[in-house]
Copies of this chain bind each other. A is one copy, B any other.
Amino acid sequence: MSAAWPPRGARAAAREGEGSPVSALPASLPAGPSGVTRYLQLASVLRQRIANGHWRVGDRLPTVQQLASELGVARITVRQAYGRLAAEGLITTHRGRGTHVASTAQGRGPSPALRAAINDPLQHPPALSIRILDTQRDQALPATLHEGGSADTQYLRIRKLHLHDAQPFCLVDLYVAQREHDRFPPRAIEHAKLAGLLREHGSRPLGHLHQTMTVGAAERAQADALDYPFAAPVAHVVRRLTDVDGRIVYAGDFWYRGDRFVLDTVLPADLLFAYPLAVVPATRSET
């Protein structure tokens, strides 16, 4: 969806020489066709290194001069990127002393609890809360969600936000077969995951869960809802759950903040060779 990132003729000396300045960025495109300013691009890479533990709290970051010559950008560009991160509280800068990591804003990647909340189709951990943004009855299933099953006639459309420890991490736009939803206890969709509700209260046994995962840049609506920078990396998952007859009982789009997303999968080797119908993702619930 988020249309091809402009494949600008990016190419540069790809050496990893320590200390040797690597001439770099196309050096002529200020904002470039990407439309995202250079200091913001730099900021998101630095933010990522702090989030994934490459730099830890207290570590000293490269000097402005080092980064500038390594990347082939002006010092003011690095300064703006650092300024952005400082405004977010991630780093501190002091004259003569350098730039240091002040906080990680969240440990080294998503916590095990959040990983389980994302990967386990049934479990609804206490820290997970669901904020329903909007519901509409009597909707038809969009054509893009038909694939892989036959559509029912009427769906309930639900737009909702998933939060973990009160922090939004996933924006959802999904369709549940109305006849199935009407069998649920009231307000159940706020406190349980749909796969569990359909297994518990559905009219027919379930068949398959299809997932298609892509990555992209946050569009406006997603950025606003997730409290996340525009154009920052996001994961997009399309999920479709069918019953044994191949009828789609629910299908929808899930957008995850890039810094709060991990997909875990495990594939036993015997399934691996039974391709195509093979790989097996999974997350251990705890530890």
A positions within 8 Å CB-CB of B: 1-8, 10-12, 14, 16, 22, 24-26, 31-32, 34-37, 39-42, 44-45, 47-48, 51-53, 71, 80, 83-84, 87-88, 90, 104-106, 108-109, 116, 119-123, 133-134, 136, 142-144, 159, 173, 195, 199, 205-221, 223-225, 227-235, 256, 258-259, 261-269, 271-273, 275-285
Contact = CB atoms under 8 A, between A and B. Distances in A.
B228 A269 contact: no
Nearest to A278: B282
B217 A233 contact: yes
A145 to B, nearest CB: 10
A265 B210 contact: yes
A164 to B, nearest CB: 15
Q: What are the 7 closest A-B residue pairs judged by CB atoms, nearest first?
A: A41-B231, A206-B269, A35-B40, A233-B233, A14-B224, A279-B281, A213-B263
Task: Count this chain's copies in the assembly.
Answer: 2
Contacts of A227: 6-7, 10-11
Contacts of A51: 1
